[in-house]
Structure 1
């Protein structure tokens, strides 16, 4: 069984950047809200970083998972944000540190470049990565393809799960005109949709067969399969933890997962 438990704190507190805690700043106390402390040593802290081209929906995926919330207005991420949901999978408790960072031009080749250009982003010591692209604009896949190549060249990616996520599934061929718009326009639209489907098939083949990475499609706008994104990632991480510790990491037949929503817990089949 897999479940995610909400933290009993306000939305404003969850949005706080806790960089200074990572530098040994101690306990942060906010007026009118409970204190936030670093994870105890008894918990397994899983550091997950989301990366992707501009406007692919990285922040929206996180906000749907944590708050069950979506904003139509596009606001570029200009600073790092961290989120701390807790997850139980196969009776094993994890605390997830989800990091949402501004778009990066390249993955740091070593710790010096990370410190110089991406201080406190935690890019090179992440437990796992979620690489997001826009299904309605498959050209955005090239960005994460380049980042992934740089990762492989600059750090040991063995036992580092990578999940590729195609977001905005709701926009696929949504602009297809009706028959009344003219046969020529309809034919052009159908041709464009066919080209898009072919590109998606090529992407799936590359990710699953050649990269040996997980792949999933979702819609952050309609909260479709957003929970499944983190369910898939945590199962990948738990399988690695199980193989390294020798415990049985076989995926359960009945799984449940929930994000921090308006209720304290939710579960899906």
Structure 2
């Protein structure tokens, strides 16, 4: 078991139910009065899948605006999540297509950051010329016009642990004349996410606690792989620290 908590970032547009999902799962609490999330909140908890205990840190985030319009605090949280989160819950409102488009945008932004969109992160994770060339090719792919090919290329060439969460299924209109979403068929949504994000889609209702257990079972399933990665990263950091300490003992001031 890894001592370092696994960080789960909950991302999505405004009013899609990010906070509602977190609070319903952790505290069995749901508020009918909407309150916009303006500052990220952090929740420490544990999940047990019957064999392994996972210590997790859930980061409930506000909507991230375009980079040029964010305040410093929001930009710090945005970059922290994009760089440091081990698992992403991308939440959208199944009744509002624009919220699904937003998480596609967020996915591309995460990929840009993790593939070297910022120099320091890129320098830290680049170890060879061939790897650098591979990263550049992926970044070039991000400029493709075809959206499906673009996101599929990202998901194929780099692993971003993602679960797509379709919330508010209790509000789906039974009369298709009043449905304003083009992805009305849940099978279409799942196939799109599986093809482009290489991820699974969980439909749920935070209001009625519907399928939240299924959602966090999927979280546990993915954490088995994620925790091994976190443990390896922690071991590498410890070795680097010991090496730095060792070299420091042999330094002399002249």
Normalising TM by the smaller chain, what interval? Answer: 0.5 to 0.7
Q: What is the TM-score with the length of structure 1 in the denominator?
A: 0.61
Per the alignment, residue 217 of structure 2 pairs with 231
- TM-superposed deviation, 1:206: 1.5
Cα 1:92–1:56 change in 2 (3 A) is same
Which residue of the other structure, out of 117, 140, 153, is the alignment partner of 2:99? 140
Match of 2:112 among 153, 159, 164: 153
More helix by share: 2
Q: Does 1:169 align with 2:126?
A: no
TM-score by length of structure 2 reads 0.64
Q: Provide the rounded CA distance (Å) in 2 between the counterparts of 1:74 and 1:153.
A: 32
Q: List per-residue Cα deviations over 1:161-198 (Å, max 9, x = no partner).
A: 1010000010011xx5xxxxxxxxxxxx3344596554
Match of 1:119 among 65, 76, 95: 76
Matched, 1:66 2:52: no
Judging changes above 3 Å, is the alpha-carbon distance between structure 1 residues 201 and 114 closer, same or farther for their aligned structure 2 residues?
farther
Where in structure 2 are there 5+ consecutive unaligned residues?
A: 116-154, 232-254
CA contact (8 A) 1:107 1:151 kept: no
Q: CA deviation at 1:90?
A: 5.0
Unaligned runs of 5+ in 1: 1-40, 177-188, 246-269
Q: Deviations over 1:199-257 (max 9, x none)?
A: 64433222112220121000000010112212212211213546999xxxxxxxxxxxx
Alignment root-mean-square deviation, CA: 3.1
